[in-house]
């Protein structure tokens, strides 16, 4: 980011944020439940309040989405017309990118240059990808007998409920909104109460871009009330969710109790980053492990939170890793020079501190970090933390921490690496560092994870799907595969 951009940031961070309302049927209005306070993890200061949607507000939002869907104003418009609106929306998001990024950082504490890339700029790219794709996706003519015409249409599902977390709210919402809207669905979006501001702002840009009233509705408020009401609603056809496994389970149960809506889950991970002794460049691997683990304070679903080191390089690697970790600059996420910002709030910090204490009491060895820092700012900051001597049965090796806490283990050979890698119930991502092409290919097939990085960690773009295996979820965000969640096949058998 340039110096001029940081000058602008100083103004934007001082902007007053008006009390927030719900966005239903193209109109802004208060919720029927109590408002919720919004505070900044940067310094603990109160930013604004959020309207809390109750069940009846959620009913209104679903009704608006259904009415819009049935009207055909969006769902039956030509794909090329939808493309134009989504492209215009992407343009507006891009032209407001810095404003949106700062707003988001004030709410969730992500370091600004990362937030700028990962949030508005990535959301704009996602909208463009699906906008450009949607008039190039064809149905099928079946290879049926000559006296029959078998057609397979791909139609929108109807009303989509999208529920998203706080770590990258705009990027993750765009992964759902862009394919869902491009395919002609109407959406009710429920952001996390910890990160709603950018999504509300982006909804106003959608209206400016020409999205018809009711095609996108945003209901804010607590997960237990507003989110649960959406999940249980009988007129929602699909829930597309990103978040924790516990809430994911409750959504499946809500579907079972209501209309058996399809539920797609993008859940957490405990992803292994596996370094073999023939890694092509140990320093590059150290940098990859640091970046793959600590960016955004480890509050990244695919973070490489379990480091598996081959014994012959373990001591040397760990020495370099600790040095690189201790060089990371943690601080005000809106200041130039900061590499890692705040963790997302007081309760998140308290949860992380509990994980550190639990790991110590289980016998893991704390080799760096482990403490809260910069408490005098009033904000919530934590040292990047590494534990060694972790065993597969410890909670630190099995359960997602969702913070800057790395669990390190040692292995002797490929078979043991695979065994350790697969020893959790989660399977979101993994990393493998090796010079041996055969080892790399074998690991890609034997490590059970949705996304496997080889000689890098954390990279990918819209061309590859992201989704978990095992208890990390089902379905995929990104790529053309994401359209599967938001379309249904309709077959026709026409006697000629
Ligand atoms: P979370 O607590 O599961 O919340 C996710 C969303 O669900 C929020 O909007 C939340 O609202 C809502 N919610 C909470 N309880 C609900 C309920 N009973 N019914 C319906 N909705 C409910 O997760 P988080 O703490 O925001 O996010 C961190 C988790 O997300 C981690 O596990 C991380 O790995 C995962 N994640 C996965 C991916 C992926 O692509 N696989 C990407 C990013 C994050 P409130 O916040 O307002 O309560």
Residues 455, 471: Cα–Cα separation, whole Å: 25
Q: Containing domain of residue 57, as a range?
A: 3-267+473-493
Domain membership flag for residue 127? yes
Residues 189, 203: Cα–Cα separation, whole Å: 10
Domain membership flag for residue 242? yes
Write down the pLDDT at residue 1.
Answer: 84
Domain membership flag for residue 121? yes
Question: What is the whole-number distance in angstroms between the Cα of residue 87 and the centre of ligand 1?
Answer: 28
How many other C-beta atoms are found inside a 10 Å radius of the C-beta of residue 412?
Answer: 10
Which atom from ligand 1 is nearest to the alpha carbon of 247?
3
Pair (232, 308) in one structural domain: no
Residues 496, 494: Cα–Cα separation, whole Å: 6
Write down the pLDDT at residue 74.
Answer: 98
Pair (131, 55) in one structural domain: yes
Pair (160, 303) in one structural domain: no
pLDDT digits (tens, 9 = 90+) for 376-419: 999 999 999 999 999 999 999 999 999 999 999 999 999 999 99
Residue closest by Cα to atom 40 of ligand 1: 266
Which atom from ligand 1 is nearest to the alpha carbon of 166?
26
Which atom from ligand 1 is nearest to the alpha carbon of 243?
30
Domain membership flag for residue 179? yes
pTM above 0.95, yes or no: yes
Number of structural domains (the chain) is 2
Question: What is the whole-number distance in angstroms between the Cα of residue 168 and the centre of ligand 1?
Answer: 11
Pair (454, 417) in one structural domain: yes
Mean pLDDT over 101-106 rounds to: 98
Looking at the predicted structure, is the pLDDT value of residue 53 above 90?
A: yes
Pair (94, 109) in one structural domain: yes
Pocket of ligand 1, beta carbon within 6 A: 163-167, 172, 190-194, 222-224, 227-228, 231, 242-244, 247, 250, 266-269, 301, 400, 402, 428, 466, 468, 473
Share of the chain above pLDDT 90, in %: 98
- The domain that holds 29 is classified in CATH as 3.40.605.10
Residue closest by Cα to atom 43 of ligand 1: 301
Residue closest by Cα to atom 35 of ligand 1: 243
Domain membership flag for residue 467? no
Pair (402, 418) in one structural domain: yes
Question: What is the whole-number distance in angstroms between the Cα of residue 165 and the centre of ligand 1?
Answer: 4
Residue closest by Cα to atom 34 of ligand 1: 268
Q: Which residues pair with 164 in a beta bridge?
A: none
Pairing relationship of beta strands 159-163 and 238-242 according to DSSP bridges: parallel
Pair (88, 107) in one structural domain: yes
Question: What is the whole-number distance in angstroms between the Cα of residue 77 and the centre of ligand 1?
Answer: 33
Question: What is the whole-number distance in angstroms between the Cα of residue 102 and the centre of ligand 1?
Answer: 22
Q: Which residues are catalytic?
A: 266, 301
Domain membership flag for residue 468? no
| Residue to probe by mutation, ligand 1, list 165, 306, 465, most atoms within 8 Å of CB | 165
Pair (483, 441) in one structural domain: no
Residues 44, 26: Cα–Cα separation, whole Å: 33
Q: Which residue in the block uniquely carries the two structure tokens 């002609």?
A: 184
Residues 346, 380: Cα–Cα separation, whole Å: 6
- The domain that holds 373 is classified in CATH as 3.40.309.10
Write down the pLDDT at residue 32.
Answer: 87
Pair (251, 305) in one structural domain: no
Domain membership flag for residue 291? yes
Q: Which residue in the block uniquely carries the two structure tokens 């909804």?
A: 203
Question: What is the whole-number distance in angstroms between the Cα of residue 369 and the centre of ligand 1?
Answer: 27
Mean pLDDT over 51-79 rounds to: 98
Domain membership flag for residue 466? no
Pair (154, 286) in one structural domain: no
Write down the pLDDT at residue 34.
Answer: 85
159: three-class secondary structure by DSSP: strand
Write down the pLDDT at residue 374.
Answer: 98
Pair (261, 281) in one structural domain: no
User: Between helices 97-108 and 169-182, what is the axis angle to 10°?
Assistant: 130
Pair (400, 421) in one structural domain: yes
Reported as a pLDDT band with limits 50, 70 and 90, residue 46 is: very high
| Residue to probe by mutation, ligand 1, list 197, 228, 247, most atoms within 8 Å of CB | 247
pLDDT digits (tens, 9 = 90+) for 410-443: 999 999 999 999 999 999 999 999 999 999 999 9
**For residue 398, with 0-12 CB atoms within 10 Å meaning exposed, 13-18 middle and 19 or more buried, which class applies?**
middle
């Amino acid at each position: 980011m340039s110096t001029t951009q940081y000058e602008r940031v100083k103004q934007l961070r001082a902007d007053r944020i008006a009390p927030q309302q719900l966005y239903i049927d193209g109109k802004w209005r208060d919720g029927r439940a109590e408002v919720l306070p919004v505070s900044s993890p940067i310094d603990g200061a109160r930013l604004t309040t959020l309207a809390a949607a109750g069940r009846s507000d959620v009913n209104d939002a679903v009704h608006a989405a259904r009415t819009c869907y049935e009207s055909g104003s969006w769902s039956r418009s030509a794909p090329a017309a939808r493309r134009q609106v989504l492209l215009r929306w992407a343009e507006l998001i891009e032209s407001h990118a810095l404003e949106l990024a700062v707003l988001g950082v004030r709410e969730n504490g992500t370091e600004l240059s990362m937030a700028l890339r990962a949030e508005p700029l990535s959301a704009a790219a996602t909208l463009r990808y699906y906008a450009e794709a949607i008039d190039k996706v064809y149905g099928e003519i079946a290879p049926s007998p000559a006296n029959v015409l078998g057609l397979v249409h791909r139609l929108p599902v109807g009303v989509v409920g999208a529920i998203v977390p706080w770590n990258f709210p705009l990027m993750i919402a765009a992964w759902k909104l862009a394919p869902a809207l491009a395919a002609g669905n109407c959406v009710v979006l429920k952001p996390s109460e910890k990160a709603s501001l950018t999504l509300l702002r982006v909804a106003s840009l959608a209206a400016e871009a020409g999205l018809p009233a009711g095609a996108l509705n945003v209901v804010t408020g607590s997960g237990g009330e507003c989110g649960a009401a959406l999940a249980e609603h009988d007129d929602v056809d699909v829930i597309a969710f990103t978040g924790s496994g516990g809430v994911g389970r409750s959504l499946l149960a809500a579907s079972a109790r209501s209309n058996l809506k399809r539920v797609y889950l993008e859940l957490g991970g405990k992803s292994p980053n596996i370094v073999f002794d023939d890694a092509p460049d140990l320093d590059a691997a150290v940098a990859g492990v640091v970046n793959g683990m600590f960016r955004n304070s480890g509050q990244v679903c695919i973070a490489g939170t379990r480091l598996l080191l081959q014994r012959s390089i373990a001591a040397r690697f760990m020495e370099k890793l600790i040095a690189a970790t201790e060089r990371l600059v943690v601080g005000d996420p809106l200041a130039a020079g900061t590499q890692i910002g705040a963790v997302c709030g007081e309760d998140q910090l308290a949860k992380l501190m509990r994980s550190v204490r639990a790991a110590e009491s289980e016998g893991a060895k704390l080799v760096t970090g482990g403490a809260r820092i910069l408490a005098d700012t009033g904000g919530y900051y934590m040292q990047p933390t590494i534990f060694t001597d972790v065993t597969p049965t410890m909670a630190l090796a099995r359960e997602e921490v969702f913070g800057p806490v790395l669990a390190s283990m040692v292995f002797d050979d490929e078979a043991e690496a695979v065994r350790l890698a697969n020893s959790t119930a989660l399977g979101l991502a993994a990393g493998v560092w090796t010079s041996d092409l055969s080892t790399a290919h074998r690991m890609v097939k034997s490590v059970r994870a949705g996304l496997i990085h080889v000689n890098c960690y954390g990279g990918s773009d819209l061309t590859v799907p992201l989704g978990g295996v095992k208890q990390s979820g089902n379905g995929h965000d990104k790529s053309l595969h994401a359209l599967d969640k938001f379309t249904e096949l309709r077959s026709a058998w026409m006697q000629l």
